Chains A and B, each alone.
Chain A
């Protein structure tokens, strides 16, 4: 099950559309669990990993995936002196992912793009890596082609995620 929790207010239609896309992409039940409180001590731009660790638990089962949505900016990460544009982060092969919609202009009309970011982060939680196909949602999100694509997976990434989902089911 994928559970979508929001730190900020979003239009219900937008979240509903997002849940629908996630359900279609992974064939796993998706529901909106509502708004959750932001942990204390966070100021914009948020530290993505810290927020992901401190975010309130909304899982019903151990293998539930949780997608946290925020309308605020996330601070860019720095690893080995390389600055990484951050629109979301996720725990690879684990449960939690975080997506920011701050960089999406008029997010209400851009549900597809938000869904594309969400698909990528949830895909990472299934252990799927970045893809070479610019049409796929697993393509690196800081590239210009990412902004133009549909919220879909390429065949390879779809099969990879399906395989993980099948193995995860007990």
Chain B
């Protein structure tokens, strides 16, 4: 409430913070008539882009979250927060993203510090995904510019002061474990994070997929073992050359019998020959198929031989 009241008492020349945009200067107040309604706007000039102007309806200043620049006491609060062993960021990336966006928009100076600190601590567990890295950079930029404006010091001093706290001189950053974050009650979604980052880690599989994969692997291994078991005596009998030949065989050779669907061919042939469905009596059809094949072979054999006989003549 105090923030809102502070924001409502803007005057020309004030420096304010526009959430997610940075520092702006109030350059004037403009009355405009839009759709037969009179509105009053604050004209804000972003300090990083003085050529542009933002018009903010006076009635919406508080709801947008525009606020005056923090003072030295607020900066001291931020430094104390950065020094403290604060809560760890949630490992649930959705919850984390939601919280960070809220903090950036409405959290004020301490909200920016929370985003920076949270992501910084998270980066001690694992590298940040690109979007969070960009968010970290944005939050850091806004925090540095506001601290710089609040203390009236150059931006490099503001950032260095902040980082002396975050990166202690002469010390390496601590390495975090997921347990520390889990202790805070966050759900572990490390697998999703890794996937988002495009790391080389194993892609998490469903239980069913894992089971299938495992069974395939084990069956393959068994097949290989059985092959080795069968081949071993042969190789021993045939000597070293045979061993080398066996070892040169492709390892997936045992799979071929599985893919072989020989029994279907007689069925198809039977259906083609008799014109009857083979599903009702597959054995009879198979027998009929064999007979049909035999007949066809018998017919084909003389047909092939005849030209040869003619040639002989």
User: Which residues of A approach B to under 8 Å, CB–CB?
Assistant: 49, 77, 79-80, 82-85, 89-93, 124, 129-130, 132-134, 139-140, 142-145, 156, 160
Contacts and interface: CB of A to CB of B under 8 A. Distances in A.
A46 B78 CA distance: 30
B199 to A, nearest CB: 14
Given A49-B154, A91-B154, A129 B172 contact: no
Interface of B (DSSP majority class): helix
A92 B156 contact: yes
Given A129-B140, A129-B141, A80 B161 contact: yes
A84 B156 CA distance: 11
Interface stretch (B31-39, B163-171, B216-224, B288-296): B163-171
B151 A80 contact: yes
Nearest to B133: A156
Q: With a 10 A CB-CB cut-off, give which of A84, A85, A133, A156 has the most chain B CB atoms.
A: A84
A82 B48 CA distance: 27
Interface of B: 48, 72, 75-76, 79, 120, 123, 127-128, 130, 133-134, 136-137, 140-141, 144, 151, 153-161, 163-165, 167, 169-173
Contacts of A130: 140, 159, 163, 167
A91 B163 contact: no
Contacts of B133: 132, 156
A130 B120 CA distance: 12
Contacts of A134: 173
Contacts of B156: 89-92, 124
B136 A140 contact: no
A100 B170 CA distance: 18
6 contacts: A77-B160, A80-B72, A80-B79, A89-B157, A129-B137, A139-B167
Nearest to A90: B156
A58 B292 CA distance: 99
A89 to B, nearest CB: 5
B119 to A, nearest CB: 8
A89 B154 CA distance: 10
A80 B74 CA distance: 12
B169 A142 contact: yes
A91 B157 CA distance: 10
A156 B165 contact: no
Given A143-B171, A143-B172, A84 B144 contact: no
A132 B171 contact: no
Contacts of A142: 164, 167, 169-170
B113 to A, nearest CB: 14
Q: With a 10 A CB-CB cut-off, give which of A79, A140, A142 has the most chain B CB atoms.
A: A79
Given A77-B160, A143-B173, A156-B133, 18 more contacts: A49-B154, A79-B151, A80-B76, A84-B164, A90-B156, A91-B154, A93-B48, A130-B159, A132-B120, A132-B136, A133-B127, A139-B167, A142-B167, A143-B167, A143-B170, A143-B171, A145-B172, A156-B134
Nearest to A92: B155
Contact of A79 (B123, B161, B173): B161
Nearest to B169: A142
Nearest to B83: A82
Contacts of B173: 134, 143
A87 to B, nearest CB: 10
Nearest first, the 10 A-B pairs at minimum CB distance are A92-B155, A142-B169, A79-B161, A140-B167, A84-B160, A132-B123, A140-B163, A79-B157, A82-B161, A129-B140
Contacts of B75: 80
Nearest to A79: B161
Q: With a 10 A CB-CB cut-off, give which of B136, B169, B171 has the most chain A CB atoms.
A: B169
B162 to A, nearest CB: 9
Contacts of B155: 92-93
A129 B161 contact: no
